Structure 1
Amino acid sequence: MTSWARLALLRAAGLPLRLLGRLPAPVLRLVAGPPRVVAGRTLAVDVQAAQRLLGTAPERPPGAPVDAAGMRRRTAVQAALVGARPRVHRVVELVLPRPDGTLAARAYRPAPGRAPGVVVYLHGGGWVTGDLETHDGVCRVLALETGFDVVAVDYRRAPEHRYPAAVTDAVAAFRAVRDHPAAQGRPVAVAGDSAGGCLSAVVARRTRDDTRAGGAPGSGAPAAQLLLYPGTDMTRHRPSYALFGTGYQLGAADVDVYRDLYLGAEPPGAAGPPPEAAEPDASPLLAEDADLAGVAPAHVVVAGFDVMHDEGVAYAERLRTLGVPTRLVVEEGLVHAFGNAAGALPTAARALRSAARGLREAVADTAPELR
């Protein structure tokens, strides 16, 4: 069976979920059950209905065996079931250089002709599970809503390639795209979700002082950064971990397992964070003021029902304190990784489109010709 045939079967299996948005509001509420309210936030009715239909993942016991391959399969199935797949003008497979090899990448052109900007996209998945396929729909929406070319990067994943391999790849990929002749004369932004949001923040800091060919010092920095429900601090659990650590898209114990697979702690999830967790390339929130000040303008989007809610908010507030132009959007009714559910859940689709438009506005603040 071809990959396209498998995808068609998976999407057919997810048809009941994709029909949720077409149900009359009273019927949708009946499917969802009584409103779920936590910390003054109400879970979106379509999200609650989907959770009721699918059930929630069981809580991971401490020290339970970790199966990275199985985690990747589950992520791929979820993306196929509920991910968006709008049509774009062209999709091209690419190869980008890194210091000791190459990286696979995929470019999305939203419409005929030269797009006014470029976005380098770094997928989520805890540095373990995501790839070009799981985030194909997210990149398509991002391309269509910004009007920019989007280049998705297939950076190396843990546990086969542990920290800082993903950081090395992300920085190298951004510089390769930015410096390519096809990108000359166009603003180049960086964007990512979850683990990719963490990597995007690191890219923005690591390239802050880069000089683009023929430009002034700092001209090689990203034009803007879009951080979707980013992980920004691996050293501690904030209150949102207690509020939303079970029963939603991402569990607190799962975050610890991803962290330890990425950083190399053994056994994953069984103890506290390893020392590498405090490094700014792993936890962008912990970077020194002098290193973080002056990074690219940021559009930060967090989900209300998400263990990572508080650290995303804290990062946006830190940037603001340092004078970085920053917009913070709290999608109060949504859960972690909502961008991957934009094909089935109307509230998720609206939030992803809004985030994409926010990135374009952030770029336009420094490139007024885009307005």
Structure 2
Amino acid sequence: MTDYSKLIDAETWAFIERTNSFYPPETIDFGIERQRAIYDLMCREFHAGYPDGVTAETGSIDLPDRAIPIRIYRTAAPEAAAMVLYLHGGGYILGGLDSHDDACAELCARTGYELVSVDYRLAPEHPHPAAFEDALAAFEWAAAICKRPIVLAGDSAGGNLAAAVSHATRGHSRMPIGQVLIYPTLGGSGSGRSYVEHAEAPMLTARDLEFYRDIRTGGTPPADIVTLYPLADTDFSGLPPTAIVTAQCDPLSSDGEIYRDRILAAGGKVWWREEPGLVHSFVRGRHMIARARDSFSGIVEAVSALGRREWPY
């Protein structure tokens, strides 16, 4: 069994304990509505406010059959090189525009790019492929109305959706110019390295992943559908330049490693970093943990560089 007392430092343990005080591990056994209420409260408690000069406007993408809520973040003088389309985490059942509000505002402030956060439909009310369809529709909307190139970004479940959109839009005239995936869930095997070594990791366990998968799919996941599992694709060519950041103490970390290896084998540009001693959802702890603060700065740099069509790795 992994000895987390040696891998995880005191700052990160303080973040884990604070998280668990609002969102204890047993929350996964509660009903969906109660889980959402607890998660939303936790997110409010961690909200760090907006950096100076950032404003946000909440609206919607109005489609013939539904509206997709969005929130657009801007600085006083937006950087014109690109815009960012951000897809939030939450296991496909939790989260929305408010859960990642402060992180999106900070990413906007530090890159200077206009950022659009997408409130895609959640399971179980809307099982797969609803979240993917909303993510793709949001990208197509952004590509149609914005002349600037688009960088896709997302964490955890949102990283999955960002990658799925990248796979789906290869060859399009307005495909993304880059993607930044933060501890993404990409459909790796449960027997993979990190799934075994960190099956009982703080913040996210293998059991949690099975629960989220079953809720998203109704209990019958089709393993060969790329919109569900980007790693199920048989062709990794033509993807946009990709930066992946994972946490060492997270069962999902090897998903990022495998995704990197497959893009490299297909001749693409990709960089992957596994952050030592960090845990899933560490971005929420970026103001508590020095390692997380440094990693978030690296995420900002990746988004900035890809938006300028630069490859710094």
Q: TM-score, normalised by structure 2?
A: 0.90
Q: Deviations over 1:177-210 (max 9, x none)?
A: 1210xx21x2211110000000000111111121
Q: 2:199 aligns with which of 233, 240, 245?
A: 245
Structure 2, unpaired ranges of 5+ = none
Could you tell me which residue of structure 2 aligns to residue 82 of structure 1? Answer: 46
Note if contact 1:84-1:344 (Cα within 8 Å) is conserved in structure 2. Answer: no
Q: Which whole-Å CA distance do the structure 2 matches of 1:43 and 1:82 have between them?
A: 20
Could you tell me which residue of structure 2 aligns to residue 188 of structure 1? Answer: 150
Could you tell me which residue of structure 2 aligns to residue 364 of structure 1? Answer: 308
C-alpha deviation, 1:363, in angstroms: 2.9
Note if contact 1:234-1:282 (Cα within 8 Å) is conserved in structure 2. Answer: no
Q: Which whole-Å CA distance do the structure 2 matches of 1:146 and 1:207 have between them?
A: 24
Q: Deviations over 1:262-289 (max 9, x none)?
A: 0111xxxxxxxx3424311111011011
Q: 1:336 aligns with which of 276, 280, 305?
A: 280
Q: Deviations over 1:302-331 (max 9, x none)?
A: 011111011121112211111111111221
Q: Which whole-Å CA distance do the structure 1 matches of 2:233 and 2:286 have between them?
A: 33
Could you tell me which residue of structure 2 aligns to residue 71 of structure 1? Answer: 35
* Bigger shift: residues 275-284 or 100-109: 275-284
**Runs in 1 of length 4+ with deviation above 6 angstroms?**
none
Could you tell me which residue of structure 2 aligns to residue 319 of structure 1? Answer: 263
Note if contact 2:136-2:165 (Cα within 8 Å) is conserved in structure 1. Answer: yes
Distance of aligned partners of 1:288 and 1:113 in 2 relative to their CA distance in 1, 3 Å threshold: closer
C-alpha deviation, 1:147, in angstroms: 1.4
Could you tell me which residue of structure 1 aligns to residue 86 of structure 2? Answer: 121
Q: Does 1:36 align with 2:36?
A: no
Q: 2:182 aligns with which of 208, 224, 228?
A: 228
Q: Which whole-Å CA distance do the structure 2 matches of 1:200 and 1:307 have between them?
A: 19
* Bigger shift: residues 64-73 or 133-142: 64-73
Q: Which whole-Å CA distance do the structure 2 matches of 1:45 and 1:81 have between them?
A: 20
Distance of aligned partners of 1:83 and 1:234 in 2 relative to their CA distance in 1, 3 Å threshold: farther
From the CA coordinates, give the structure whose radius of gyration is larger. Answer: 1
RMSD: 2.4
Q: Deviations over 1:140-179 (max 9, x none)?
A: 1211222111000000000000000001000000110121
Q: Which whole-Å CA distance do the structure 2 matches of 1:52 and 1:66 have between them?
A: 20
User: Counterpart of 1:278 in 2: which secondary structure?
Assistant: coil
Structure 1 segment 147-158 matched on structure 2, within 5 A? 147-158=112-123
Q: Does 1:284 align with 2:230?
A: yes
Q: Does 1:300 align with 2:269?
A: no
Could you tell me which residue of structure 2 aligns to residue 263 of structure 1? Answer: 217
C-alpha deviation, 1:66, in angstroms: 4.9
Distance of aligned partners of 1:74 and 1:364 in 2 relative to their CA distance in 1, 3 Å threshold: same
Q: Which whole-Å CA distance do the structure 2 matches of 1:65 and 1:53 have between them?
A: 20
Distance of aligned partners of 1:252 and 1:83 in 2 relative to their CA distance in 1, 3 Å threshold: farther
C-alpha deviation, 1:247, in angstroms: 4.5
Give the residue type in structure 2 aligned to 1:254.
D
Q: Percent identity?
A: 31
Q: Does 1:355 align with 2:309?
A: no
Structure 1 segment 89-238 matched on structure 2, within 5 A? 89-98=54-63, 100-113=65-78, 115-180=80-145, 183-184=146-147, 186-211=148-173, 220-233=174-187, 236-238=190-192
Distance of aligned partners of 1:59 and 1:100 in 2 relative to their CA distance in 1, 3 Å threshold: same
C-alpha deviation, 1:58, in angstroms: 4.1
Distance of aligned partners of 1:196 and 1:173 in 2 relative to their CA distance in 1, 3 Å threshold: same
Structure 1, unpaired ranges of 5+ = 1-33, 212-219, 266-273
Note if contact 1:84-1:340 (Cα within 8 Å) is conserved in structure 2. Answer: no
Distance of aligned partners of 1:210 and 1:230 in 2 relative to their CA distance in 1, 3 Å threshold: same
C-alpha deviation, 1:364, in angstroms: 2.4
Aligned residue pairs total: 307
Q: Which whole-Å CA distance do the structure 2 matches of 1:96 and 1:136 have between them?
A: 18
Note if contact 1:59-1:253 (Cα within 8 Å) is conserved in structure 2. Answer: no
Q: Which whole-Å CA distance do the structure 1 matches of 2:20 and 2:175 have between them?
A: 43
Q: Which whole-Å CA distance do the structure 1 matches of 2:302 and 2:311 have between them?
A: 14
Q: Deviations over 1:223-262 (max 9, x none)?
A: 1001000001165342322322224011211111111110
